């Protein structure tokens, strides 16, 4: 992997890299924050939080706007931010809308042509990227996962579908029941085709009853989020959890919207949640 940039930040380092992804069949860029412990004279391997961003984002939105580095540096936690879709693959229509194609990979594996040639973001974030980073960087191989909106849902399905792979999971304003909202239906019909049966394995709310591992879900949602009613439906996820006795801490925050101002306001709670599960000693 090729180092594109690095910035010292709270005694740690924010780095951007480019690499060739085999599962996406294109070059990808991603960002990593390494806490001071991982870059000191004798670097000590640290666990990693994978952050999946939402529609229109790159690896940079979270790194520049969430303000997560201060607490991550204190905790000794690395943060990995992948991009949100394959890039530069020149599929017809890939840049036509903000909620499909570039910037909108939905962290699923497309099965429908032409998207199936590149759009395997699920395999990328669950397997290829961690395998690469755990080879190349001082990471322990212990992982947690979180994200926002499309990426909040991505985090939920990555954890629900892979028992034992993550120590903890959380989400900000996830698209909680994508088979039942316009963003999700557009993406799933485009990437998976018209047979809605095939959509079910990619919907967190529908995966809850079958979940093999009972990781508690921490979900934060703003009440002034413009997408809350039409797209996000956290109550569908909470209902599914209640029926299946799956623990969920759904926190509704009055007045907060869908932006990174909301994420920045509560990111420390999420970092502490993950640090506890990862056994980091300075966790609150
Ligand atoms: N129509 C909106 C939807 C996109 C949107 O709100 N994206 C969220 C994730 S779903 C985001 O994180 N945007 C980038 C940012 O705020 O930095 C737009 O294009 O601005």
Q: Whose CA is nearest to atom 20 of ligand 1?
A: 56
Question: Which atom of ligand 1 is nearest to 173's Cα?
Answer: 10
- Kindly report, residue by residue over 89-125, the tens digit of the pLDDT: 999 999 999 999 999 999 999 999 999 999 999 999 9
**Best residue among 57, 150, 155, 181 to mutate for probing ligand 1, ranked by most atoms within 8 Å of CB:** 57
For tokens 């909202």, the residue is 181
Whether the CB of 260 sits within 6 Å of ligand 1 = yes
Task: Choose, from 153, 246, 258, 274, the residue flagged as catalytic.
Answer: 258
Contact 65, 95 (CB under 8 A): no
Where do the domains of the chain lie? 2-278
Measured in angstroms, how far is the CA atom of residue 154 from the centroid of ligand 1? 16
Q: Is 282's pLDDT higher than 70?
A: no
Tokens for 219, please give them.
Answer: 């979900």
Provide the pLDDT confidence category of residue 284 given band limits of 50, 70 and 90: low
The neighbouring-strand residues paired with 120 are 109
Whether the CB of 84 sits within 6 Å of ligand 1 = no
CATH H-level superfamily of 2-278: Alpha/Beta hydrolase fold, catalytic domain (3.40.50.1820)
pLDDT of residue 283: 56
Distance CA 59, CA 81 (A): 5
What ipTM was predicted for this assembly? Answer: 0.94
Q: Is 149 assigned a catalytic role? A: yes
Query: Checking DSSP bridges between strand 26-34 and strand 2-9, what pairing results, if any?
Result: unpaired
pLDDT of residue 42: 85
User: How far, in whole angstroms, is CA 10 from its chain's centroid?
Assistant: 23
| Rg of the chain over all Cα atoms, to the nearest angstrom | 18
- Kindly report, residue by residue over 44-57, the tens digit of the pLDDT: 999 999 999 999 99
Q: Is 107 left (phi over 0), alpha (psi -120 to 50) or beta?
A: left
- Kindly report, residue by residue over 212-252, the tens digit of the pLDDT: 999 999 999 999 999 999 999 999 999 999 999 999 999 99
Q: Which of 240, 199, 201 is nearest to 217 (CA)?
A: 240
The neighbouring-strand residues paired with 101 are 104
Distance CA 247, CA 239 (A): 11
Average pLDDT over residues 189-194: 98
- Kindly report, residue by residue over 122-157, the tens digit of the pLDDT: 999 999 999 999 999 999 999 999 999 999 999 999
Distance CA 249, CA 235 (A): 12
Q: Whose CA is nearest to atom 4 of ligand 1?
A: 55
Q: Is 225 assigned a catalytic role? A: yes
Please provide the distance, in angstroms rounded to a whole number, between the alpha carbons at the two ends of the chain: 34
Distance CA 202, CA 122 (A): 10
Whether the CB of 259 sits within 6 Å of ligand 1 = yes
Q: Is 253 assigned a catalytic role? A: no
Measured in angstroms, how far is the CA atom of residue 135 from the centroid of ligand 1? 33
């Amino acid at each position: 992997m090729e180092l594109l940039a690095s910035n010292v930040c709270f005694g740690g380092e924010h780095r951007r890299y480019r690499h060739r992804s085999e599962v996406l069949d294109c070059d990808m860029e991603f960002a990593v924050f390494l806490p001071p412990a991982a870059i000191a004279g004798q670097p000590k391997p640290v666990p990693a939080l994978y952050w999946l961003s939402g529609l229109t984002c790159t690896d940079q939105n979270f790194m520049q706007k969430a303000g997560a580095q201060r607490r991550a540096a204190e905790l000794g936690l690395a943060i990995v931010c992948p991009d949100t879709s394959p890039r530069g693959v020149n599929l017809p229509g890939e840049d036509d809308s903000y909620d499909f194609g570039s910037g909108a990979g939905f962290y699923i594996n497309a099965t429908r042509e032409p998207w199936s040639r590149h759009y395997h973001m699920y395999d990328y974030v669950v397997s290829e990227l961690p395998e690469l980073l755990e080879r190349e960087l001082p990471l322990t191989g212990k992982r947690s996962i979180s994200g926002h909106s499309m990426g909040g849902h991505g985090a939920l399905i990555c954890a629900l579908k892979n028992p034992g792979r993550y120590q903890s999971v959380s989400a900000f304003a996830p698209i909680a029941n994508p088979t039942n909202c316009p963003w999700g239906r557009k993406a799933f019909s485009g990437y998976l085709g018209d047979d809605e049966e095939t959509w079910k394995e990619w919907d967190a709310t529908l995966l809850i009853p079958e979940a093999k591992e009972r990781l508690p879900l921490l979900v934060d949602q703003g009440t002034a989020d413009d997408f809350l009613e039409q797209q996000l439906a956290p109550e569908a996820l909470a209902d599914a959890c209640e029926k299946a006795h799956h623990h969920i801490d759904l926190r509704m925050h009055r007045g907060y919207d869908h932006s990174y101002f909301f994420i920045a306001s509560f990111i420390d709670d999420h970092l502490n949640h993950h640090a506890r599960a990862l056994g980091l000693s300075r966790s609150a």
